[in-house]
Structure 1
Amino acid sequence: MAVVLCMAPWFSAAAVLPQLRAEWNLSPQAGSWLALAVQLGFVVGAVGSALLNLADRVPSRVLILVGALVAAGANAALLVINDGSLAFVLRGLVGAALALVYPPALRAMSAYFTTGRGVALGVMVGALTLGSASPHLVNGLGGAQWRTVIAVTSVLAVLGGVIASRVGPGPHRSPAPPFRPAQAWQALSARGPALATLGYLGHMWELYAMWTWFALYYSGVLRAAGGTDVTRVSALATFAVVGIGALGCVLGGVLGDRWGRTRVTELSMWLSGASAVALALLVSAPPGVILAVSVFWGFWIIADSAQFSTIVSEVADPAYVGTAMTAQLALGFTLTAVSIALVPALEPRIGWPGIFLLWSVGPLLGAVTMRVLRGTPEAARIAGGRR
């Protein structure tokens, strides 16, 4: 519940980006940078957190509370400014603050579970998914009033931080290790964590780019079909496409624990990449058909996400699990910044079909990487020997 609420500010500006561009007279490029700012801020925050070993040395509930309060404050500050440059800084601060929420939350959950960890982290990432989707629901139900979206998501983040502050340390949390900045790299340089991280990068290549730009894409689909009330309908559609991923995360956790993590991550990326290819081919399909394929895509695009973190928690040094998770997330979100930024630069040239084909490359390569990991000796430590 804390993560659902704390992560609400993540996509708050992206959910109302057309309104912000109109009110602040932002160019399309400036709007793209505003959407990208959170990713860049998260990378900075995650890198700093990994170097300082914060997720392993500071209680998770303290980090999450601080991150939630800072994110809420920076998000709410958008209500009193009228400048795109300052908005970029504030959105970057939101991302940096949420780097104190997401990795420590994964670390905290892993400290409560040894068996069933895949389901546990799947529920946690499902919560992240719901939190990320919530601004689109608020937007769809609130008549596209961007101030309402910003205000509500800021209040939700504060409430999430308060809830997190009530969560004690798990029974399997390791004692605070020595301060070792180099551990941020060493935690991922071993073969097992390195392969898991490469698979994670393939997954992340498409995930946040799709989450960020789907509302814009589907708005164009609706307009081309002569639809009405496009803003509201596209917001609700985006909530469905992103939000359905919460169920995918849970199923991914169940399959990861029972069937094997490398298997479920590989399957998920094959299906996700195939969905992107299918949408590239459905250029003239009715909006309902496109939405149905997109919902299927939204289910599988995130179903594997928690399992990458779970694999790292099982094969990394137990004393620095939080640092390893944070470093993995930092690399992943660095890549998302690239894939998000490429869309406005390439879409006018190659169109949305070309964008979807480009996105499909990541999960297809990631699936191959997880097949390689399955054949290594380190795989015997994953999911109790179920690889």
Structure 2
Amino acid sequence: MPHRILPVLVLAQLAGTSTWFAVNAVMPELQAAFGWAASSVGTLTSAVQLGFIIGALVFALLSIADRFSTRRVFLICSLAQAVCTIAAMATAESFAALCVWRFLTGFFLAGIYPVGMKIAAQWFPKGLGNALGLLVGALVIGSAFPHALRAMSVGWPWHSVFYGVAAIATSAGLLLYLLIPEPPVRAARASGLQLRALWAVSGDVKVRASVLGYFGHMWELYTFWVLMPMILATHLSDPTQISWSAFVALGIGALGCAGGGWVATRLGSAPVAGVQLAISGLCCFIAPWALGAPTLLFAAWLLIWGITISGDSPQFSALTASNAPPALVGSVLTLTNSIGFAISIVSIQLFVWLAQQFPLATLIPWLGIGPALGVWALMPLLRTKRST
């Protein structure tokens, strides 16, 4: 096996997911230019989430990644989301049009994130846990990258972020397609999305535990991402500092993903997921103190929160995949991810709206309800001596 496979795949995943929060990185400029309400950031983010849900279900129902070359699917979706990003920029004065283009961006992201995982499974069937941690870490950095791009292009028009992200997304598809060959052994063709996977989720104690834990994680994760600029604005006023700080606080989650994957090979996925979920939940509950703390303590709080809020993601996927019936793994993961992203839409819309009515110190602790319930749901797996 060529040694370049995993590094190229990780880099392509990072670049391919850079479109996810492209609009969020320039929302202050868009709101100033077009007079949008502060809550518009929640609507636009939810449009991407909804597009991803629909895309994931369509890709699963049609068995796209099984019927066609995964390399080609990844390339086409990379190019398609780059086109959607440029189109979003060109029609940004229309909020409705921007929502449509962001929805389509989310749809094609379903051909990046899950398909990247599929390629990893084809090349690393015996070392998927480590590869999964690196790939989710790449997704975290890629999603945070538009904030760094905005910081690096300070003084330039907000359009530069869209151009940059579109170019990066295009390079992702070309990089993977040109440098990664077809896998030596194609995975057996799946039979599409099987709704009987819902029975596996509800009827098996272990599957139910990991799925419900994941749902608690999703209640918190993307709302944290959306609220990050508001949280940073409580201590910072310079837009460039806010952009760089957002990139660091969000992107540092890659350490939690990669480090958690390494620890999971020794202790199991359930303890790693449970500990990280508990710590991120605790970060929510201490927000009233942390928001008013000195800057160094405030920064430490955000970094710990950023590491742990993303670090449990690959472990939930690993737990669900290992405990689900082998014939239903793909369907269980697809349905679980779709429901999880639907939960994130509800959370984003609710908290962005409430942020206009209440101070963050009052609001953020309620995000901790998801992790608290998630840890409670994980207890059947945490009680076992070792859960993979």
- 1:127 maps to which of 114, 138, 158: 138
- Closer/same/farther in 2, CA of residues 179 and 140 from structure 1, 3 Å limit: closer
Structure 2: 5+ residue stretches without partners: 1-10
> By how many angstroms is 1:172 displaced?
6.7
**1:178 matches 2:194:** no
Counterpart residue number, 2:32: 22
> By how many angstroms is 1:276 displaced?
1.7
Counterpart residue number, 1:84: 95
Counterpart residue number, 2:226: 212
Amino acid at match of 2:72: V
Counterpart residue number, 1:338: 346
> By how many angstroms is 1:46 displaced?
1.6
- Closer/same/farther in 2, CA of residues 70 and 319 from structure 1, 3 Å limit: farther
Secondary structure of 2:29's aligned partner = helix
Counterpart residue number, 1:366: 374
Matches of 1:180 and 1:91, distance apart in 2 = 25
Higher mean Cα deviation, 109-118 or 263-272? 109-118
Contact 1:51 1:183 in 2 (8 A): no
Matches of 1:233 and 1:180, distance apart in 2 = 45
> By how many angstroms is 1:106 displaced?
1.6
- Closer/same/farther in 2, CA of residues 187 and 113 from structure 1, 3 Å limit: farther
Amino acid at match of 1:2: A
Counterpart residue number, 1:37: 47
Contact 1:193 1:312 in 2 (8 A): yes
Counterpart residue number, 2:7: none
Equivalent residue pairs, number: 374
Contact 2:193 2:330 in 1 (8 A): no
- Closer/same/farther in 2, CA of residues 325 and 111 from structure 1, 3 Å limit: farther
> By how many angstroms is 1:157 displaced?
0.5
- 1:295 maps to which of 303, 307, 330: 303
Higher mean Cα deviation, 280-289 or 8-17? 280-289
Structure 1: 5+ residue stretches without partners: 224-229
- 2:174 maps to which of 155, 159, 162: 162
Contact 1:3 1:102 in 2 (8 A): yes
Matches of 1:272 and 1:350, distance apart in 2 = 22
Counterpart residue number, 1:285: 293
> By how many angstroms is 1:29 displaced?
3.3
> By how many angstroms is 1:59 displaced?
3.2
**1:203 matches 2:203:** no
> By how many angstroms is 1:263 displaced?
0.6
- 1:74 maps to which of 74, 81, 84: 84
Secondary structure of 2:36's aligned partner = coil
Matches of 1:101 and 1:26, distance apart in 2 = 30
Contact 2:21 2:144 in 1 (8 A): yes
Contact 1:266 1:368 in 2 (8 A): no
- Once the two structures are superposed, what CA deviation does each residue of 1:117-140 show, in whole Å capped at 9, x if it has no partner? 222100000000110111010111
Matches within 5 A, 1:321-336: 321-336=329-344
Matches of 1:313 and 1:173, distance apart in 2 = 19
Matches of 2:249 and 2:102, distance apart in 1 = 24
**1:64 matches 2:90:** no
- Closer/same/farther in 2, CA of residues 201 and 179 from structure 1, 3 Å limit: closer
> By how many angstroms is 1:181 displaced?
4.4
- 1:241 maps to which of 249, 252, 255: 249
Contact 1:55 1:322 in 2 (8 A): no
> By how many angstroms is 1:21 displaced?
1.2
- Once the two structures are superposed, what CA deviation does each residue of 1:166-214 show, in whole Å capped at 9, x if it has no partner? 4345567531133454356456445233321111111111111111120
Contact 2:75 2:177 in 1 (8 A): yes
- Once the two structures are superposed, what CA deviation does each residue of 1:52-111 show, in whole Å capped at 9, x if it has no partner? 333444432222222211111111112322211100110111111101111121222133
Percent of paired sites with the same residue: 31
- Closer/same/farther in 2, CA of residues 88 and 179 from structure 1, 3 Å limit: closer
Contact 1:177 1:320 in 2 (8 A): no
- 1:311 maps to which of 298, 319, 323: 319
> By how many angstroms is 1:113 displaced?
3.0
Higher mean Cα deviation, 163-172 or 129-138? 163-172
Amino acid at match of 1:105: G
Secondary structure of 2:47's aligned partner = helix
- Once the two structures are superposed, what CA deviation does each residue of 1:283-312 show, in whole Å capped at 9, x if it has no partner? 322333212210111011111101111223
Secondary structure of 1:220's aligned partner = coil
Matches of 2:387 and 2:351, distance apart in 1 = 38
Counterpart residue number, 2:16: 6
Matches of 2:296 and 2:65, distance apart in 1 = 43
Amino acid at match of 2:168: L
> By how many angstroms is 1:23 displaced?
1.5
- Once the two structures are superposed, what CA deviation does each residue of 1:353-379 show, in whole Å capped at 9, x if it has no partner? 222211111112111222223457xxx
Contact 2:195 2:331 in 1 (8 A): no
**Alignment root-mean-square deviation, CA:** 2.2
- Closer/same/farther in 2, CA of residues 350 and 180 from structure 1, 3 Å limit: closer
